[in-house]
């Protein structure tokens, strides 16, 4: 296993992009090691290795950007349990890894809808952010099977979170509302009703939320 990880590290060194790595560091994406390898290259690299639970777990726990992303690509979906998901959601270090793990792994799980319901109801802002992003991913690939009543509960929480102090939580909540409204015009009307007080607010952030949702829903309504 150690020899395999050493080989993967060597592959990363050969693809290293110091300019990208430095740029990420300047933007606050701090890892013990960041090779600056782009996502398409990592996906190609992952195809050279067989999915392996033990390997993926070791890679995930390395403080190396590319190894964490490879972990999301190499973990066998059929062996990834709800307990694993609960552990990993609490170990996500930043937004890039959050988006990668949702897209490469979480959205493929048979119990993904249950994770959305649980995580969007969490008291932890980071976990709630991941719950929203997972929900967005499931709606994008039309794999969400949540009943309308449960979706409305998620909408209720997202309406509150669009005013949260966390930038990434606000963004995730807003994307959730947009995606729900695109898929269901009745819920779109309910969402706009919930935020209509923002339409003429002196608070520019609130007004931007209303304008963004209103524009989004009108665009899809006229398609």
- pLDDT recorded at residue 19: 60
188 with 181: CB under 8 angstroms? yes
78 with 56: CB under 8 angstroms? no
Q: Where are the domains of the chain?
A: 1-79
Tell me, letter by letter, the H, E, C secondary structure of 151-196.
HHHHHHHHHHHCCCCCHHHHHHHHHHHHHHHHHCHHHHHHHHHHCH
pLDDT (tens place) for every residue of the chain, 223 residues total: 778 888 999 889 888 776 656 666 655 666 778 888 999 999 999 999 999 999 999 999 999 999 999 999 999 999 999 999 999 999 999 999 999 999 999 999 999 999 999 999 999 999 999 999 999 999 999 888 899 899 999 999 999 999 999 999 999 999 999 999 998 999 999 999 999 999 999 899 999 999 999 999 988 777 6
- pLDDT recorded at residue 30: 67
CB count within 10 Å of CB 29 equals 16
For the stretch 158-193, what's the b/e string if a residue is b when 16 or more beta carbons lie within 10 angstroms of its beta carbon? bbebbebeeebbbbbbbbbbbbbbbebeebbebbbe
């Amino acid at each position: 296993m150690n020899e395999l990880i050493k080989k993967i590290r060597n592959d990363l060194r050969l693809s290293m992009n110091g300019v990208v790595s430095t740029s990420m560091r300047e933007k606050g994406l701090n890892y013990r090691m960041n090779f600056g390898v782009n996502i398409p290259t990592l996906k190609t690299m992952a195809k050279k290795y067989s999915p392996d639970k033990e390997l993926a777990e070791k890679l995930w726990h390395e403080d190396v950007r590319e190894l964490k992303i490879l972990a999301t690509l190499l973990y066998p979906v059929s062996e990834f349990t709800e307990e694993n998901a609960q552990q990993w959601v609490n170990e996500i270090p930043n937004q890039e890894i959050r988006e990668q793990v949702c897209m490469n792994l979480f959205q493929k799980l048979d119990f993904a809808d249950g994770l959305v319901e649980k995580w969007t109801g969490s008291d932890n802002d980071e976990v709630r952010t991941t719950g929203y992003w997972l929900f967005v991913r499931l709606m994008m690939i039309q794999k969400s099977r949540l009943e309308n009543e449960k979706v409305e509960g998620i909408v209720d929480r997202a309406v509150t979170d669009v005013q949260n102090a966390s930038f990434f939580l606000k963004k995730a909540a807003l994307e959730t509302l947009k995606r729900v409204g695109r898929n269901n015009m009745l819920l779109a009307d309910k969402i706009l009703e919930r935020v209509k007080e923002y339409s003429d607010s002196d608070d520019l952030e609130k007004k931007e939320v209303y304008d963004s949702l209103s524009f989004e829903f009108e665009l899809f309504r006229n398609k």
